């Protein structure tokens, strides 16, 4: 853990927005940041080689614009991090939005936080394209709580666009890591706790997460592969072996496939796009049978409709 980390009495933060051909939604994102009851010191949009009007929109809203050749979301996040002077930083995707009280509620936590606290997220509401009226996200429960390592391992509840980081802690683990998109927020959370930092969750819906057709969140195969990679890295780490030797790998990796299937159904994705459960996932007969059944005519679409209706009637608690 960073030896120079100290407690703070104020909440001074910056926002970095990675943006690639983001003209369509960027104004809404920037407006949500400008509407904060506690605005950021600075907003930096890192234009990831866009060919549209991303830079013009960012400039119109008073953001600092950094231009980059197209390197992907992780690369431009790290470029933005290198320019941050404030003690706290958030990375907001160019199509997501914060509710007006997001930063103010974060400030209440950080002003009294222990020095080892490195990241705080919140609950989100999904919106955007597709049949998403069935999914309203976890119900707000109120309050703040620290997340134990086992909980982060089991189901990381921190979404990239909702996390405020202690900038020094993020730099201590060398920022975001290439090769783990779209679950790079999960990878970052596990690396922080492995380094001895703490992470926490505001149990309130303070942000909205946009789901778009063709976005990373709708790509079942990419999500499954990157999350599997993240899990294996943590499972193989000396931190896990020394600190949590009894942590179970096989049930977690099996649950990952089922959750990928559920997520695809929730977002209205074709369930036939969910990959065959590989040997790396230690598949059960039920997993293989479910995958085969979804290949029957009409089964995938019917299952997706039923799942979304069930979620509409019984939102996640």
Looking at 171, 196, 213, the residue that finishes a domain is 213
**How many CA atoms within 13 Å lie on the side-chain side of 306?**
7
Same domain as 238, residue 189 = no
pLDDT over 80 (residue 130): no
Same domain as 209, residue 222 = no
Same domain as 108, residue 34 = yes
Q: Best-predicted range by mean pLDDT among 32-41, 134-143, 210-219?
A: 32-41
Same domain as 59, residue 170 = yes
pLDDT in tens, 157-206: 899 999 999 999 999 999 999 999 989 999 999 999 999 999 999 999 99
Same domain as 90, residue 179 = yes
* Residue 83, domain CATH: 3.90.550.10
- In this prediction, residue 309 has a pLDDT band, given cuts at 50, 70 and 90, of confident
Same domain as 229, residue 201 = no
Confidence (pLDDT) at 142 = 84
Same domain as 139, residue 30 = yes
Section 232-258 average pLDDT: 95
The domain in which residue 112 lies consists of 13-213
Same domain as 113, residue 17 = yes
pLDDT over 80 (residue 73): yes
Residue 8: inside a domain: no
Residue 299: inside a domain: yes
More confident residue, 161 or 308: 161
Same domain as 222, residue 207 = no
Q: What total of structural domains would you count in the chain? A: 2
pLDDT over 70 (residue 296): yes
Same domain as 299, residue 199 = no
Same domain as 109, residue 26 = yes
Looking at 184, 213, 242, the residue that finishes a domain is 213
Lowest mean pLDDT among 117-121, 127-131, 159-163, 280-284: 127-131
Same domain as 118, residue 56 = yes
Residue 6: inside a domain: no
């Amino acid at each position: 853990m960073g030896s120079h980390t100290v407690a703070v009495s104020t909440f001074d933060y910056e926002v970095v927005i990675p943006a690639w051909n983001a003209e369509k939604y960027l104004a809404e994102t920037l407006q949500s940041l400008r509407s904060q009851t506690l605005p950021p010191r600075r907003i930096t949009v890192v234009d990831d080689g866009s060919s549209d009007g991303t830079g013009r929109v960012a400039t119109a809203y008073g953001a600092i614009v950094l231009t980059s050749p197209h390197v992907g979301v992780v690369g431009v996040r790290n470029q933005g991090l290198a320019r941050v002077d404030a003690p706290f930083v958030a990375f907001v995707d160019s199509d997501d939005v914060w509710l007006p009280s997001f930063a103010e509620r974060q400030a209440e936590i950080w002003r009294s936080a222990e020095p080892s606290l490195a990241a705080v997220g919140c609950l989100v509401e999904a919106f955007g394209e597709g049949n998403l009226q069935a999914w309203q996200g976890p119900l707000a429960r109120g309050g703040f709580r620290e997340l134990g390592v086992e909980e982060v391992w089991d189901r990381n509840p921190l979404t990239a666009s909702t996390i405020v980081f202690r900038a020094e802690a993020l730099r201590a683990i060398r920022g975001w890591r290439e090769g783990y998109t779209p679950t790079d927020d999960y990878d970052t959370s596990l690396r922080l706790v492995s380094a001895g930092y703490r992470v926490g969750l505001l149990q309130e819906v303070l942000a909205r997460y946009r789901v778009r057709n063709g976005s990373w969140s709708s790509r079942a195969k990419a999500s499954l592969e990157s999350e599997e990679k993240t899990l294996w890295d943590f499972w193989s780490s000396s931190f896990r072996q020394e600190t949590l030797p009894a942590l179970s790998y096989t049930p977690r990796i099996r649950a990952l496939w089922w959750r990928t299937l559920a997520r695809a159904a929730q977002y209205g994705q074709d369930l036939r796009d969910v990959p065959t459960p590989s040997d790396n996932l230690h598949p059960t007969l039920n997993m293989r049978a479910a995958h085969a059944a979804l290949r029957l005519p009409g089964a995938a679409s019917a299952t997706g409709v039923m799942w979304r209706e069930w979620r509409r009637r019984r939102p996640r608690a």
